Structures are given as structure tokens and as C-alpha cells.
A and B are shown apart, each in its own frame.
Chain A
Amino acid sequence: MHARSVLELSRALRARELSSVELTQHLLARIESMDGALNAFITVTAQQALEQARAADRRIAAGTAHPLTGIPLVHKDIFCTDGVKTSCGSRMLDNFIAPYDATVVERLQAAGMVMLGKTNMDEFAMGSSNETSYYGPVRNPWDHARVPGGSSGGSAAAVAARLSPVATCTDTGGSIRQPASLCGITGIKPTYGRVSRHGMIAFASSLDQGGVMAASAEDAALLLETMAGFDARDSTCVDRPVERYASVLEQDLKGLRIGVPRQHFGEGLAAGVEARVRDALALYESLGARLVEVQLPNTDLSIPAYYVVAPAECSSNLSRFDGVRFGYRADQPVDLDDLYRRSRSEGFGAEVRRRIMIGTYVLSAGYYDAYYLKAQKLRRLISADYSRAFADVDVIMGPTTPDVAFRFGEKGADPVTMYLCDIYTNGVNLAGLPAMSIPVGFSDALPVGLHIVGNYFEEGRLLSIAHAYQRETHWHRQVPEGYA
């Protein structure tokens, strides 16, 4: 049951071969027995899920169902859910019950989806390994000694282990694509402004974007088209109709121009990863696409630019966590300064504190021009690189990450080695472009991801290109041992 695609499940539900309650119970049982080892969930909402499943069954019986009615999903614990703990992976919000639903949650719930729970993540989405979570790291279902990637590691592990058919997630510098790659699943980060950020706890507002993880592009398409679109509660959300992604998947790739950035195949890229990515490119060629070398000369600047812009915004976004109105409050503060100092020191973990300090520094009088303004200039250069490339090609492809999933603690000593995990993905956030990662095989028995970057609002094209590959291959159907 858990190995079936969303479309198959949707058909079975409507044919009454299967009820949403049965499906939900089955997945809750899997979570119960398997998540102890994985730690993909922060909260499992079993009771509520069964109620939603019963409602979905009634709706299916009444003939008013949406294609996603009765399909279970999990939300990254960064999306606010009315009446359910929304921790953002932090001690700071361990006691926070959101009083409202994020737009994404609201829309998927309106479609009749069933929420199984909230998934684990790097604290406030800051991390690439899930090791910064207050709730402990998530394990990679392909190898429990390795990280699932981050920050949406819980969502990625849950989908890879088939504990949920689909998951919501967010991507600020690679937080959807990198864990999707490391866990061997399909993940899409839409164009900035395509999905409402209302109710999505902010890390770096100008980079954050909600997206989808699923086993396949086909499943991701249906979820994305249901949650995307204009929302008056987010001023950065774009008022532009959403394509019916699921209906435009079948496209002929003949004549497709694929840009291959030279800078994404250089030093630091593991040979096994490069080999699988080259295989995938060759398959696209065999489907009629043409490979064109493109230049993204400022790729090296994306990490420094990102690590100024993102911390700057985060230092301000996280100021509201002050122990005054909600969240963690230090015990017995002696005065206001003590309340602030200890609530924030005790409530935030080391990586979050580091980024708040970096961000505070780069915005300080006397440093603003040298860091923040300079980074904004680099950001424009990086965007311009992509614009130039898209003048010649339709999409850009390369590896999602330099290497496969690494071991716990392996990149702990120097934060910069961790930051380099996102070298191919960061620039996309700085430019605001849509991008995906899809599984294209294994290296040392660990999944390898192909990074596909599109032009603005070309989510439909990206999904159809991913779908064309998945029609020809079986990598997206591979399930880690023990989770079949």
C-alpha cells in the first residue's frame, strides 16, 4: 500500500478499493514501528489524522472529492498548524502551539489531505544535516549511520522510507533539494513567490520558499499545484495563475537545450556522483535533448553572499523570540536584560546563535556597506549569470550536492565544510529560480541527485522534464532496505 504512487492511491480511494482510514492506519503503524530508528517526526498527530481520514472517506463517498482527498501527508515542523505544536526544530518553540494554519497547510487541508504529523528539521532550518535539531538528528533510511541532509531532513526521510507518500518542506539555500538528493527522492523548490510564506516560520525571508517532496515528479506536481498560488497575506507572493502541473507532464524533449555549467563539475565533486549525473545527462540526450556548456562564473561567490544575506535576515527575523510573549522563557530572570540574554542563549542552539551573531555583525553600523550591501551586489551578479545562461538554454542541470550522504559528525568541526554542501543550490535561492532534485542512481549504495534549474515560473517544464526521466528509469521507485 505504502509503495503506491499518489495517483494510484487516489484512484484506489475513489474506486473504494481502499479507504483513507485504512491507508492512514497503515502508515501510522509504519511510523510507530519504524520512526523510533529514523526520528523523522517531531509530532505524530494520529488522532487528528484518523478524524481527517474519516472525513475524507465521507467526502469521497459524497462524490465531492479532490484528487488529493484522503491522501496522507506530513508537514515540515516549520509550517504553523492550528492547535498542534510547531517547534521549528528548536527548544525555543518546544512549547509553541500555533493558533492558526499556514496557507500551505490550509490549502492542502481544504483539498481533504490527511496530516500524519510534523517532521523533524534543522533548528529554524539552519543546517544541511539535521544535526542542529533540538529533537536529535534524523537518520538516513539508506544508512542509519548517515545524515539525511537538511534542513528538511525529516520530510525527506519520511518520504524515502515510505512513511508518507508526500511531504511539505522549505528551501532557503538547498533545504529541499539537498536532503531529497541524499535520501533518493524527488524534491522541488518553486520560484520565489510561487508558494505563500504565510505561516511558514521565517529564516531568511528573501530566500525562503515552500515546496514539495514526493517519490516522483508526477506526485509532486499534484501537491504543488494544490498549494501554490497567490495569497494576499504574503506581500511577496506573486499574483499569477498556477499552471496545472499534473496535466502538462507529458512533453516531448526533442530539441530541449540543457545547460551544463562548467563550474558545477569542478573541484570538490565526488567521482561517483559525477558519473551518475553524466549518465542522466546522456539519457536526456537519448531522449532528444541537446547539451550546451554554460558558464556560471560567480558560483564561488554564492556561498559567501548567501552567508551574509541569510544570517542578516535571520538575525532580525529571530528577534521576536525574546521570551516575552511565547516560546522559551528563562527561569527566574533578574531583570529585562537577563530575560533576553538567557531566554535566547538557552532557547537557541549553537548554529542558530552563530548565524544571529554573524547577521547582527554584518548589519552593524560601519560594516553594513562592506558586507550586506556587497552581498546584495554579488546576489545581482549571480542572478545575472543565470539570466545569461537562460538566454541560450531551457534548463540547467548538474549535481545537486558534491557528494552522497555523509556520516554524523563528519562535518561538525568547521561550519564552512557544512556550508559547502549547498554550493550548487545556494545560487538558485539568491536568484529566486525554481529547481528540483531527482534520484539518478547510486554511488557506494547511496543515492545521487540530479539538480534541474528552470527559468522563473517554469515549474511545469521542470516537472515534465523530471517526469520524462522517471518514465525511462526506476531510480525513483527504489526503497531503502528494511522499508520496502
Chain B
Amino acid sequence: MMWETVIGLEIHAQLATRSKIFSGAPTAYGAEPNVQACAVDLGLPGVLPVLNAEAVRMAVKFGLAVEARIAPRCVFARKNYFYPDLPKGYQISQYERPIVIGGHVWLELQAGERLRVGITRAHLEEDAGKSVHDAYQGLTGIDLNRAGIPLLEIVSEPDMRNARQAVAYMRKIHSIVRYLGICDGNMQEGSFRCDANVSIRRAGEQALGTRTEIKNLNSFRFVEQAIDFEVERQIEVLESGGRIVQQTRHYDPDRQQTRPMRNKEEANDYRYFPDPDLLPVAVDAAFVAAVRSQLPELAEARMERLVSTFALTREQAGSLTASREVADYFEASVRAGAGNARATANWMMGELSAAMNRCEIDISQVPVSPDALAVIIARIDDGTLSASMAKQVFEAVWNGEGTPQAVIETRGLQQVTDSDAIESIVDRVIAANTDQVAQFRAGKHKVLGFLVGQVMKAAGGALDPKRVNALMREKLGA
């Protein structure tokens, strides 16, 4: 039996506003519990929500970036349910009238294949607080610092057919919100997370199968693993004659499996209705135009520009522009140096990226500045450094030993570039190794490596081996 997988994602992106969506309390992460919750966030009697205009601006930015329609009038609604970390007994969200309607993104898959994923809608809402189950024996703590943090919930169409596509889509949205500067994208802190709706159907069938929803996936890896597991589980259930129950599931990364949380059938009736404390939000054409004029260049456009301006391959440009900060680093480095874009790209995707992985840091924490990288590349280009020397310099700068120039000087890393000097060393080696020279002349060409090595050794490595090799061959009449 051939099965087709159908996946849609609901991504929650925490908007990078300084204050909360309906109150003036700060949004910074990691504060002591409940110190960033004001009367409004606590849901005290008599307090009222006041909409943060910055959150609206950010939502509009997103809508424009995915070529969606910005609703001229959107409405906040109350989603009613009881939970201890939901202070008012309702969450202010958008229901029938979201702010962003009907956009799409294109995903670049392998082998030049592209996939269009539709975005049904994106709406503004407030986050709930956090229940802390492990801090007190037999008690649950409530931390309301997160209550009222602005979220943009981005709902995709069920356009993805496997976990890889779902991850590619999530990465795409991640890149967009980071490029727009509307979300810090920090997945460990929960600033960017998703729920995955997964169903399967027999290949060729039109109707969608019963779906399950995997909640709160906060890493790309978990999205992939959870979906893969869930698809296998659903196939097993159906192939053994069972049926899929519509339910919410939780992904356990330790066991790499999904488990049911609660059945949708017995889920809450949220009794949505327009929030009478908030007026409908009118977003006029002038406001949209103003936001549009401030939109930064996004990943796709930037990739095309890097390809055409710097003659990079699409793969290189795609990899460099996936993150706005990486692309910024690249362009800054190229600008700072002599403009050897290809070498810069190779270094970033090679040494730099390897070092970042080794140290588990991201581009913002890299100790080698774009300027320093530009200097290293310039020294290779002018022949001062050999490739292996450049790697030494890079590592030394990474380890905080100083600027590239300082490292080159203190370590005396300088290739001998004077032809006469090189020639005299070669001559000395030939004279000192008559046996090997004879062997070479007798046709034992392997011995060339030894001779070149002797030259390198004599020069303390400060020579370009290719030049030595060529010169040696010439002298030996090969």
C-alpha cells in the first residue's frame, strides 16, 4: 500500500516588541518569575487591555513579506477556557477576522525543485503564562511573565508531503521573521515553535485523512523526528485495520515518539466572541504602504543579488542568505576586503562554519570579525599566507591571540616569495641529496615528494609548495 502524507503547520512566532501586546510590562526573557507581570497581565479586576501598535506593525510586515492580504479591519476575540496560567479565563486572540490573510512562500528543495506552500492566515494573540510543575513538592507554580507576550500564529495550508518539506517550510518562515526583525527566532526560549497537523491518505485519494496535531515542537530536528514517527504510527494503525483518532499529541524527544495529550472530541468549546474591551483594528492603505516602504531585502531577493553581483553558485548564495546575520557577515567581509567573494563564501561555509559547530555558537558570537576574515583572505591572495598558514592564523584569531596582522608577525608566518631565495634553497637541497636526485633521474619520480619536503623543511614551511614543486621539476629537468 502506498501512503501519502499531508502536513500543515501552525507556527507561533513571538514578536520582538519591547512591551507586551496589551500592557506596558516588559517582554525580556529569563526574569525572576512574575516580576514582569503587571495588573493587566495578572487579570486583576477592573483592568483593561490596550493594544500595542508595534505588534500590529510587525504582523503587517510579515503579511507583506509572504505576499498576503492585510485585512483593512481585523477583530480581537476572546477564546474562553479555564487554566491556572490563563489569568483572565480567556486568551485574547483573533478568530473570524485575522490581520493577515492568504499568503505563500516558495521552498527550495534539493535538485532545484521548488514547492509552493500556502499560508492560510496569520493572527495576533497573547501568550498564556507558564505552569511550573517541578519547583514545589505537590504544588504547581504559576509564572505570568510570559502572559501577554505578543505572538503571531502563522497557519499554513496542508501543502507539505513529508517531514523534510515541513522542516524546509519552518526554516523558511524562521528566516523571514528573522530578516524582518520581528522575532528573535530563539527556539530554546520558545520564541519560535510550531504545532504540526499530520494525516495520511492512500496515494491518489482526494479526501484528507483524519489528522492528529503534535503540539509545541521547538526545534527543527524535533519537527522532523516527530512527523516521521507520527506518519509511521498512522500507517501501522491503518494497515493493521485500526482507525486514526483525531487528537492532540505530545512529542517526547527522549523516546522519540508521540503520545496522546487529549482527544479533540472532548476538547473545550472555546466560546469565541469579539472582545468588547478592544475596538476593531483599522489598518489603512497608507499605513500598509509605509510599512512596505520599510521592508528589508528578504532572503530570496538577497540570494539572487549575491548570485548576480558576486558570481556565487545558487547553493552558496542560498546557504549564506538563509540567515540574515550570516548574509550580513558575508557582505561586510567582502566589502572590507578586496572583494574576493568566492573565497569569502568558501571560508564561511568551510572553516568558519566548522568552528561555529565545534563551539556550538551562532554567527553573532563568532570571535573573528568580518574585517579580520577579509584580512586573512587578502593575505592569501597577495601570496603572504599559504592555505595552511591561513588556517593557523584563523585559529589564532578565533582563540583571541590578536588581529590577523599581529598573528602573522608574532608567529613569523610569511611565505618566502623572493624567487632567488627559493631557488637557492632548491639548489642547496639538490646538492645535498645526490642519491635521491639520481634516483629521480632514473625514473623513480616518487622521490620528488621527499625533495620538495626537504625544501619546505629548510624554509620552515614558509613557501608555497606548488611553486617549490614546479621549480624542483624544472631544475631536475623533468
Contacts and interface: CB of A to CB of B under 8 A. Distances in A.
Contacts of A205: 276-277
Nearest to A199: B46
B416 interface: no
Interface string A317-361: 011111011100000000010001000000000000000000010
Nearest to A313: B276
B50 A232 contact: yes
A88 B45 CA distance: 10
Contacts of B277: 202, 205, 235-236
B51 A320 contact: no
Contacts, number: 97
Contact of A319 (B50, B89, B279): B89
Interface string B243-281: 000000000000000000000000001011100111100
Contacts of B89: 316, 318-320, 322
Interface in A17-68: none
A315 B279 CA distance: 20
User: Which among B39, B43, B46 has the highest number of chain A CB atoms within 10 Å?
Assistant: B46
Contacts of A325: 42-43, 87, 142
A299 B87 CA distance: 38
Interface stretch (B77-85, B102-110, B417-425): B77-85
B48 interface: yes
Interface in B264-302: 269, 271-273, 276-279
Contact of A372 (B48, B142, B273): B273
Contact of B269 (A234, A336, A365, A372): A365
Nearest to B43: A320
B45 A86 contact: yes
A198 B47 contact: yes
B80 A363 contact: yes
Interface in A172-209: 197-202, 204-206
A88 B273 CA distance: 25
Interface stretch (A5-13, A92-100, A252-260, A397-405): A92-100
Given A202-B46, A363-B80, A100 B39 contact: yes
Contact of A316 (B50, B80, B87): B80
Contacts of B50: 232-235
A316 B48 contact: no
B90 interface: yes
A316 B49 CA distance: 14
B269 A235 contact: no
Given A200-B46, A235-B278, A340-B82, A99 B39 contact: yes
A230 interface: no
Interface in A432-478: none
B355 interface: no
A133 to B, nearest CB: 17
A7 B91 CA distance: 47
A234 B48 contact: yes
Interface in A137-167: none
B44 interface: yes
B271 A96 contact: no
B193 interface: no
B273 A235 contact: no
A235 B46 contact: no
Contact of B46 (A102, A232, A322, A336): A102
A249 interface: no
B46 A316 contact: no
B45 A235 contact: no
B88 interface: yes
A321 B42 CA distance: 12
A100 B48 CA distance: 13
A360 B47 CA distance: 22
B236 to A, nearest CB: 33
A463 B269 CA distance: 46
Given A205-B276, A235-B50, A320 B271 contact: no
A364 interface: yes
A390 interface: no
Given A316-B78, A316-B271, A98 B46 contact: yes
A312 B142 CA distance: 28
A406 interface: no
A271 to B, nearest CB: 39
Contacts of A233: 47-48, 50
A125 interface: no
Contacts of A419: none
Given A205-B276, A235-B279, A319 B48 contact: no
A265 interface: no
A305 to B, nearest CB: 15
A80 interface: yes
Contact of A235 (B49, B82, B87, B272): B49
Nearest to A93: B45
B44 A326 contact: yes
A197 B276 contact: no
A408 interface: no
B48 A197 contact: yes
Interface in B82-126: 82, 84, 87-90
Contacts of A313: 276
Nearest to A80: B46
Nearest to A364: B269
B24 to A, nearest CB: 10
B142 A320 contact: no
B38 to A, nearest CB: 10
Contact of B90 (A204, A316, A326, A364): A316
User: Which among A324, A326, A336, A365 has the highest number of chain B CB atoms within 10 Å?
Assistant: A324
Nearest to B24: A233
Contacts of A336: 84
Given A232-B50, A233-B48, A316 B82 contact: no
Given A316-B78, A363-B80, A201 B48 contact: no
Interface in B45-71: 45-51
A236 B279 contact: yes
A99 B44 contact: yes
Contacts of B84: 322, 324, 336
B88 to A, nearest CB: 5
Nearest to B22: A235
Contacts of B78: 316
A9 to B, nearest CB: 30
Nearest to A372: B273
B19 to A, nearest CB: 13
A320 B87 contact: yes
Contacts of B88: 319-320
A198 B48 contact: yes
Contacts of A236: 48, 276-277, 279
Given A316-B80, A363-B80, A324 B142 contact: yes
Given A93-B45, A99-B39, A365-B269, A322 B82 contact: yes
Contacts of B44: 98-100, 326
B113 to A, nearest CB: 42
Nearest to A318: B89
Contacts of A201: 45-46
B48 A235 contact: yes
Interface string A230-251: 0011111000000000000000
23 contacts: A93-B45, A99-B44, A100-B44, A197-B48, A202-B45, A233-B48, A234-B48, A235-B51, A313-B276, A315-B271, A319-B82, A319-B88, A319-B89, A320-B45, A320-B89, A321-B45, A325-B87, A325-B142, A326-B44, A363-B273, A364-B271, A365-B269, A368-B273
Interface of B: 39, 42-51, 78, 80, 82, 84, 87-90, 142, 269, 271-273, 276-279
| 10 pairs of A and B residues whose beta carbons are closest in the complex | A319-B89, A363-B271, A205-B276, A206-B276, A199-B46, A320-B43, A201-B45, A80-B46, A320-B88, A365-B269
Given A315-B271, A316-B78, A325-B87, 18 more contacts: A93-B45, A199-B46, A200-B46, A202-B277, A232-B50, A235-B49, A235-B279, A316-B273, A318-B89, A319-B89, A320-B45, A322-B82, A324-B142, A325-B42, A325-B43, A360-B271, A363-B80, A363-B273
